[in-house]
Amino acid sequence: MKDKSIEIPKTTLLWMYEKMLTIRLFETQANREADAGKLLGMHSSIGQEAVPTGICSQLQSNDYVLGTHRSHHHCIAKGVELKSMMAELLGKATGTNKGKGGTMHIADINKGMLGANGVVGSNIPVATGVALSAKIKNTSQVTVVFFGDGASSQGSLHESMNLASIWDLPIIFVCENNRYAESTPYEYAVAGKSVADRAAGYKMPGISVDGQSAMDMYEVSKTAIERARKGKGPTLIEAKTYRYKGHFGADNPLTYRSEDEENYYKDRDCIERLKNYLLLNEITNQEKLDLIYEKSLTAVDEATAFANESPFPSSEELFSDVYVSYK
């Protein structure tokens, strides 16, 4: 039996599949670079590809996203170029930030990706300020800020949601609930066992969604984005997802979770689910999906070669980009 029809354009479905596949292949290669000692502090987003992909499929080029310490998937979903991304991860001069940001502080303002941040919850008030600027300037821009379940109890989130609701700011708060704040299960640390329910205290919609489904993410975020763009204020989305890897490269997740749990989520892999939907509903065929795979793999391979061949920044670069003149 075919799945129920959700009104998502064919081109968007194929875009989401290619984008998620590219993220998966990029992250797999980034892990290899980290294992080779070329990349320090790797926080893999494998398993969580559907969350930013479903959202960014509907954002405009001048909309903004802000991320976390685990933000490679946010960057790729928003359209950051793979070559400059991989170069940034390896600390090269050709990176998006000249090799100075690295994996946890990567940004590309020209693409609307205003930055990852290694400090838990710190980008949330920044994003709120970005949304305020759009409101003051009377633009139609929407801001999306991603954070994890570990940041959901930070004061910065609650202060930001309060202000965003008071001022009807065009912002979407997206909690990527991957079940663990490092090794702490969210059931232990989140009172009420729901992040989405906290929206009620700030008079904004709070939605819990299957973050392993790109189509569900599309459907939920479509409503939130349209609401924000029309000046009706913020939304809190809790995307229930799962990271396949540990918190970072050296972390063994089996010290705090079981193989059965891992297999449960991997059996619901976001890429495989969308692939099966595309085939079952005859939206495409395996041959075309194979071509998408080859295209994504080639792009990642070219990005890796570019990054490895690029030079490191010169010592003089230590003193550039330190201060900003507001004149």
Average pLDDT over residues 280-308: 97
> Mind listing the pLDDT tens digit for each residue in 169-224?
999 999 999 999 889 988 898 888 899 999 999 999 999 999 999 999 999 999 99
Task: HSE, CB side, 13 Å, CA atoms: give it for residue 325.
Answer: 2
Tokens of 296: 């994504």
pLDDT of residue 6: 62
Confidence of residue 2 (pLDDT cuts 50, 70, 90): very low
> Mind listing the pLDDT tens digit for each residue in 9-31?
999 999 999 999 999 999 999 99
> Mind listing the pLDDT tens digit for each residue in 116-140?
999 999 999 999 999 999 999 999 9
Distance (Å, rounded) from C-alpha 304 to C-alpha 290?
21
pLDDT of residue 3: 44
| Nearest residue to 156 (alpha-carbon basis) of 126, 115, 201, 130 | 126
Domains of the chain and CATH, by start: 10-248+264-304 (3.40.50.970)
> Mind listing the pLDDT tens digit for each residue in 53-105?
999 999 999 999 999 999 999 999 999 999 999 999 999 999 999 999 999 99
Confidence of residue 319 (pLDDT cuts 50, 70, 90): confident
pLDDT of residue 250: 82
Please tell me which residue, 276 or 250, carries the higher pLDDT value.
276
List Cβ neighbours of 129 (8 Å cut-off, separation of 6 or more).
none
Angle CA 163–168–169, to nearest 5: 75
Residue 310, H or E segment: none
pLDDT above 70: percentage of residues in the chain: 98
pLDDT of residue 323: 85
pLDDT of residue 41: 82
Single-letter amino acid, residue 130: V
